[in-house]
Amino acid sequence: MFHIKKDKRSQASAALVVSGLYQCLESKPFEKITIADIQKASSVGRATFYRLFDRLPDVLSYECDNVLCQFIKSNTLVNTSDQFIAFFTNWMTHDVLLETLMTSGNSELLYVVFREHAAELGKLLSPKAELSPYETDFFINIATSALIGALATWIKHDRRETPDQLTTMMRVTLSTVNESLNG
């Protein structure tokens, strides 16, 4: 778990740790990176690291939370299709983070972060739906799985697809699922 306070000093230290992680990822896979490596790359002491994070995967979780919160805060689109394109565009700019999550066996961190922001995501991805809280819970879990699956497949396909193509694939896939359920 990460424990980043809202004060500038904690935020700056956390940003240094994240930057240090990205520097380390340029030369090593995540599984081989140590906290000592992060310390050297970030100039953040061990005590500061442990004040902010319990363990190394928490840095990934923190960065996922930052990326998602940034998307939610900056998103002003109304059209749902545009929301999906913006969502994929946003995450594609963080392809190193996505690949690290997928290859290190930490993709569940995305699910956790998405669930923590379920209400905001539900409003963005289905603004016209009038779902009960019970139905919303199913919607968010299913949508989250589909979105993360699309991003994982994009990584697997060597990042070839554009945000528009991923949105089209979501549309085709969900339409096919809908037809299967109704037919």
Q: Of 21-30, 50-59, 66-75, which range is least confident? A: 66-75
Tell me how far apart the alpha carbons of residues 176 and 182 are, in angstroms, rounded to a whole number. 10
Among 119, 168, 163, 169, residue whose Cα is nearest residue 144: 119
Domain-located, residue 124: yes
Domain-located, residue 19: yes
Give me 5's structure tokens.
């306070």
The pLDDT, as a whole number, for residue 127 is: 66
How much is the average pLDDT of 32-38? Answer: 97
Q: Give the pLDDT confidence of 122-146 residue by residue, as tens digits.
A: 777 776 777 787 887 888 888 888 8
| Containing structural domain, residue 148 | 58-182
Q: Are 66 and 2 in contact (CB under 8 A)?
A: no
How many domains would you assign to the chain?
2
Domain-located, residue 3: no
The pLDDT, as a whole number, for residue 115 is: 87
Tell me how far apart the alpha carbons of residues 149 and 136 are, in angstroms, rounded to a whole number. 19
The pLDDT, as a whole number, for residue 143 is: 84
How much is the average pLDDT of 22-47? Answer: 97
Tell me how far apart the alpha carbons of residues 137 and 159 are, in angstroms, rounded to a whole number. 30
Give me 15's structure tokens.
């940003």
Tell me how far apart the alpha carbons of residues 149 and 101 are, in angstroms, rounded to a whole number. 12
C-alpha Rg value of the chain to the nearest Å: 18
Q: In this structure, are 17 and 41 located in the same domain?
A: yes
Domain-located, residue 155: yes
Q: In this structure, are 137 and 169 located in the same domain?
A: yes
Domain-located, residue 22: yes
Q: What is the DSSP string of 49-85?
A: HHHHBSSTHHHHHHHHHHHHHHHHHH----SHHHHHH
Tell me how far apart the alpha carbons of residues 157 and 107 are, in angstroms, rounded to a whole number. 17
Average pLDDT over the chain reads 91
Q: In this structure, are 39 and 69 located in the same domain?
A: no
Q: Give the pLDDT confidence of 143-154 residue by residue, as tens digits.
A: 888 889 999 999
C-alpha 95 chain-centroid distance: 10
The residue type at 77: L
The pLDDT, as a whole number, for residue 29 is: 97
Domain-located, residue 2: no
